Amino acid sequence: MPTIQRTDLPIALRDHLFERLRERKIEARDLWRLKAWRESKPEAPDGPWYKDFESFKICEEGRYPKTFLLRDQSAKGQPL
């Protein structure tokens, strides 16, 4: 199973993610939790999935992150 893509994201996707970080005011301490999780090289299941970090969720499909959601927003797909 492939691992989650952490670097070399397509430019449009990278820009979208940074915009969502700004809009949702995700704090640096939460981003460190995301970084640590990604550095563990988690496997990327097929199809949509999400990881709940309590203060936010990251939603992905396959290897690529798609967006960030706030705690109270619903995520679609398989929870990790």
Choose the weakest-confidence range: 1-5, 17-21, 34-38: 1-5
Asked if the structure places residue 31 within a domain, the reply is: yes
pLDDT in the model for residue 52: 92
Q: Phi-psi region for residue 56, left (φ > 0), alpha (ψ -120 to 50) or beta?
A: beta
Rounded percentage of the chain residues whose pLDDT exceeds 90: 11
When divided into structural domains, the chain yields a total of 1
Q: What is the pTM of this model?
A: 0.74
Tens digits of residue pLDDT in 44-80: 788 898 999 888 998 888 777 888 898 899 999 989 8
Asked if the structure places residue 4 within a domain, the reply is: no
Give the whole-angstrom CA distance, residue 21 versus residue 78.
Answer: 22
Give the whole-angstrom CA distance, residue 51 versus residue 30.
Answer: 13
Q: What is the mean pLDDT of residues 29-43?
A: 86
State the first-to-last Cα distance of the chain, in angstroms, to the nearest integer.
Answer: 14
Rounded percentage of the chain residues whose pLDDT exceeds 70: 95
Please, what sign has the CA dihedral across residues 11, 14, 15, 16?
positive
Asked if the structure places residue 2 within a domain, the reply is: no
